[in-house]
Amino acid sequence: MIGERTRMFLRRVGAMLLKEVLQLRRDRVSLATMITIPLMQLLLFGYAINTQPRNLPTAVLLQESSDVGRTILRALENTKYFKIVREARDEQEFDRLLQSGTVLFGIEIPANFERDLRRGDRPALLVAADASDPVASGSALAALSTLTQTALRWDRSIPEFTATPFEVRTHARYNPAAVSQLNIVPGLLGTILTLTMLIFTALAVTREIERGTMETLLAMPITPVEIMLGKIAPYVVIGFVQASLIVGAGFLLFAVPIFGNLFLLATLTTLFIATNLSVGYTFSTLAQNQLQAVQMAMMFFLPNLLLSGFLFPYAGMPQWAQYVGEALPLTHFLRIVRAIMLKGSTLADLRYDSLALVVLMLIAMTIAVTRFRTTLD
């Protein structure tokens, strides 16, 4: 009797197991998600994430051209923290490169530096750092402490003194006290908007299908573009309210300053919201049900979180990971919101990232409309 009961139990469990395997095989998106997300996490954490970034983009302003100056610059690059990518013509361009985020560091060798050095007057090498991301700049600034002892140790024409031959004066701009809230709160603005906007619109079309109202919608004299704009528009307002609450809370509770133009911040935030809504709507047209839509949204959100520069320094990632990051809306918005709030940057400083958001939005909208027209056919 017990043996018969055990066999029946195993048979029912086996039948249920077979049914679940067949159902999982039919739901290929869920199966792909379960396989892809762990693999993606392994690759991103293993290869792309680096908490001690190297080869940080650096600009130089040479008030004089000398052998000593070039030796010091080579010593800077030999630390592996600095990579000289631009040479500024004057102080205005020097400041603009830092403010626009083109470089993270600016090094100025003042006039008469070599003459003062050879006379033993200990001249100063000036280093300006973009400290809006303290993690990215902290290790590089620490590496400067050894520069004065090693840069000119083989130059026999420099007088030997017990003190170092020159000093390094650092100026951490935009977040001199390295307050973490000044970096985290603007980043949270983009992260929260990305998550909520993606999920809201990822359910837009699949919800209509599962509720059985898609037939009514298709019978109406309305085009795919009009449907998409009508579905996205309410969430633009919701996203703008969310953004206002986060910025207001950051200002009142965490003392995050807003040095830039509020209208520019509002305009580019609305553009970012529209970009994420377009991506979410695209997922909605690709998914067959709401579960698949949410899974697609989360698969897109994960690389946004890890490769945008929110959790880990963008400059510390390998080149291939940076290319992936450039294709993500959050990467560009983080640069925009930090630049406007902490640096007071203008649209001219942010034209590259603003244009990138426009391009990403148009690509997502085109795919969404094309997919939805296919659904109609």
Range ranked top by mean pLDDT from 59-68, 151-160, 219-228, 329-338: 329-338
Boundary (domain end) residue, out of 110, 138, 173: 173
Q: What average pLDDT does range 343-369 have in this prediction?
A: 92
Q: Is residue 281 part of a domain?
A: yes
Whether 111 contacts 64, CB under 8 Å: yes
Read off the pLDDT of residues 86-131 as tens digits, 9 standing for 90 and up.
888 888 999 889 888 888 999 898 888 888 888 878 888 888 988 8
Task: Give the pLDDT confidence of 226-279 residue by residue, as tens digits.
Answer: 777 888 888 889 999 999 999 999 999 998 999 999 999 999 999 999 999 999
pLDDT at 157 over 60: no
Q: Which range (4-13, 82-91, 248-257, 294-303) has the least confidence? A: 4-13
Q: Does 25 fall in a domain?
A: no
- Indicate whether 169 belongs to any domain: yes
**Tokens 């939005």 belong to residue:** 361
Beta-carbon contacts of 88 under 8 Å, excluding residues fewer than 6 positions away, are 59, 60, 61, 94, 97, 106
Give yes or no: residues 235 and 323 share one domain.
yes
Q: 293, 203 in Cβ contact below 8 A? A: yes
Last residue of a domain, one of 146, 173, 200: 173
Number of domains in the chain: 2
Q: Is residue 218 domain-shared with residue 362, that is, in the same domain? A: yes
CB 61 within 8 A of CB 109: yes
Averaged pLDDT, 160-187: 80
Q: What is the domain range of residue 286? A: 180-376
Q: Are residues 167 and 226 in the same domain?
A: no
Is the same domain home to 242 and 202? yes
Residues 118 and 187 in one domain: no
Same domain, 357 and 226: yes
DSSP output for 64-80: S--HHHHHHHHHHHHTT
Q: Is residue 5 part of a domain?
A: no
Sequence-separated (6 or more) residues with CB below 8 Å from residue 367: 282
Placement of tokens 């469990």 in the chain: 13
| Residue 215, pLDDT above cutoff 70 | no
Per-residue pLDDT at 214: 65
Residues 192 and 315 placed together within one structural domain of the fold:
yes
The DSSP code for 160 is: P
pLDDT higher than threshold 80 for residue 363: yes
120 plus 251 within the same structural domain:
no
Same domain, 168 and 186: no
Helices marked H in the chain: 2-26, 28-43, 67-78, 91-99, 113-118, 134-143, 147-150, 180-202, 204-211, 214-219, 224-253, 262-286, 290-307, 319-326, 329-338, 351-376
| Average pLDDT across the chain, whole number | 83
Residue 39 domain-assigned?
Answer: no
- Whether the per-residue pLDDT at 184 is higher than 80: the answer is yes
- 203: DSSP letter: T
Buried b (16+ CB within 10 A) or exposed e, 252-264: eeeebeeebeeeb
Q: What is the pTM of this model?
A: 0.83
Instruction: Tell me whether residue 27 is in a domain.
Output: no
Express each pLDDT in 314-342 by its tens digit: 887 888 888 999 999 999 999 999 999 99
Q: Are residues 189 and 167 in the same domain?
A: no
208 and 316, same structural domain?
yes
Q: Identify the domain boundary among 173, 196, 223.
A: 173
CATH (domain of 75)? 3.40.1710.10
Q: Is a pLDDT exceeding 70 seen at residue 161?
A: no
258 and 195: one domain?
A: yes
82 and 331 in contact (C-beta within 8 Å)? no
